[in-house]
């Protein structure tokens, strides 16, 4: 038996919008864990967020993620969950990506890591992936014990999609917090101008 030939990282999110926190998380997991590539998987319908606020169209979020990773070696946008449609469950994506010649590392910030045992079919998920936990302000690096987890240290970046949406709504600048082409899409599509 030979070992896995590909080491794949999976960084899922709503990416509404993608920002430097996502990119720094992805490139550091890539480097630190010697992954071959990291997929930024855009959620179609993030079921834990639906109802809380209106979410930008999936294709627009995908376009922003494509722009965000352009030119960053090893980071790729994935439309897998959008093509599948419906509510998004990470386990379905992991099931699809699982292969005997591939190892899967789920990359999450500390806030998401703490809630991994609320995810759909989380026990199966814990069997199929290693977890890479990247530092994020405001949450301890605590991971439910069923998961095999490694910590990846990154500079603490106090940036979130929610804060960026709020800044746009308030007319404050977001340059530097998101890649320039992402900012252009936000402007062109008039995203985040209204509350909710």
Nearer to ligand ATP, 49 or 99 (CB): 49
Q: Does the footprint of ligand ATP cover residue 28 (CB under 6 A)?
A: no
| Of residues 46-105, those binding ligand ATP (CB under 6 A) | none
Non-local (6+) Cβ contacts of 28 within 8 A are 134, 152, 153, 154
Is residue 44 helix, strand or coil? Answer: coil
Rounded Cα distance between 13 and 88, Å, is: 10
To the nearest 10 degrees (0 to 180), the angle between helices 58-69 and 180-188 is 160
Size, binding site for ligand ATP by CB under 6 A: 18
Interface characters, 115-154, with ligand ATP (x: CB under 6 A)? -------------------x-x------------------
Q: Are 41 and 30 in contact (CB under 8 A)?
A: no
Nearer to ligand ATP, 4 or 138 (CB): 138
For ligand ATP, the binding residue among 129, 159, 174, 186 (CB under 6 A) is 159
What tokens were used for 105? 């590392």
Strands 75-78 and 37-42, sheet pairing? parallel
Region of 19-27, 57-65, 169-177, 178-186 interacting with ligand ATP (CB under 6 A): 19-27
Residues present in the chain in total:
196
21 binds ligand ATP (CB under 6 A): yes
Nearer to ligand ATP, 4 or 134 (CB): 134
Rg (CA), the chain: 16
Tell which residue, 61, 32, 132, 90, has the closest CA to residue 69.
61
State the minimum distance, in angstroms, from the CB of residue 108 to ligand ATP: 4
Upper half-sphere CA count for residue 71 (Cβ side, 13 Å):
5
Candidate residues 9, 10, 15, 168; the one interacting with ligand ATP per rule CB under 6 A: 15
CB of 51 to ligand ATP, least distance (A): 14
* Smallest separation, CB 162 to ligand ATP (Å): 3
Pairing of strands 6-13, 148-152: unpaired
Residues making contact with ligand ATP (CB under 6 A) = 13-16, 21-22, 25, 108-109, 111-112, 134, 136, 157, 159-162
């Amino acid at each position: 038996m030979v070992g896995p030939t590909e080491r794949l990282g999976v960084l899922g999110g709503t990416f509404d919008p993608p920002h430097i926190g996502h990119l720094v998380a992805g490139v550091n997991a890539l480097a630190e864990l010697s992954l071959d590539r990291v997929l930024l998987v855009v959620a179609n319908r993030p079921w834990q967020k639906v109802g809380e606020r209106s979410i930008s169209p999936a294709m627009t979020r995908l376009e922003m993620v494509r722009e965000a990773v352009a030119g960053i070696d090893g980071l790729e946008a994935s439309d897998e969950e959008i093509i599948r449609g419906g509510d998004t469950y990470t386990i379905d994506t992991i099931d699809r990506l699982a292969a005997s010649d591939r190892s899967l590392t789920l990359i999450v910030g500390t806030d998401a890591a703490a809630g991994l045992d609320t995810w759909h079919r989380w026990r199966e998920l814990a069997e199929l992936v290693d977890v890479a936990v990247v530092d994020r302000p405001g949450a301890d690096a605590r991971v439910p014990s069923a998961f095999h987890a490694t910590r990846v240290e990154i500079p603490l970046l106090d940036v979130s999609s929610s804060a960026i949406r709020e800044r746009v709504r308030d007319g404050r600048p977001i340059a530097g917090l998101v890649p320039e082409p992402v900012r252009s899409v936000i402007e062109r599509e008039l995203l985040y101008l209204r509350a909710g």
